Amino acid sequence: RHVLVGLVWAVWHFPLILSTPYTDVPLGLFLPLFVLGIVVASMVYGQIRIISGRTLWTAVLLHGTGNTVIFGILDSQILTFHNKILAFISPESIPVMLLWVVLGWYLLRRN
């Protein structure tokens, strides 16, 4: 079920990605990585939602907090990244995906 939610969540972002200068990464590379990153993140958000008593507000707060912190750092240029796939703080970057995988695996095993 988390995978289906992740796919819907990823596709939900497509109009924004396709209609704005959302990324400098070529879309042929970016979109599959973005979808994979969102699906992996949805596993974590879904498990945390279950642990918190199945309330949707947990995922809403996580998403809002994550966006606020990530875009705050990126927009203020506190950190700059030259490789947006290997070293970046968004769901489509490989380090963040690996972090989500480890956290998701832990949460699935814990439950």
User: What is the block-wise mean pLDDT of the chain (111 residues), using blocks of 10 residues?
Assistant: 92 94 86 90 89 88 81 68 63 78 85 68
Give residue 88's pLDDT.
Answer: 63
Angle at 4 between CA 100 and CA 13, to 5 degrees: 75
For residue 25, give the DSSP letter: S
Give residue 13's pLDDT.
Answer: 93
pTM across the whole model: 0.75
Q: In 1-111, where does DSSP find H-type helix?
A: 2-19, 27-51, 56-76, 94-110
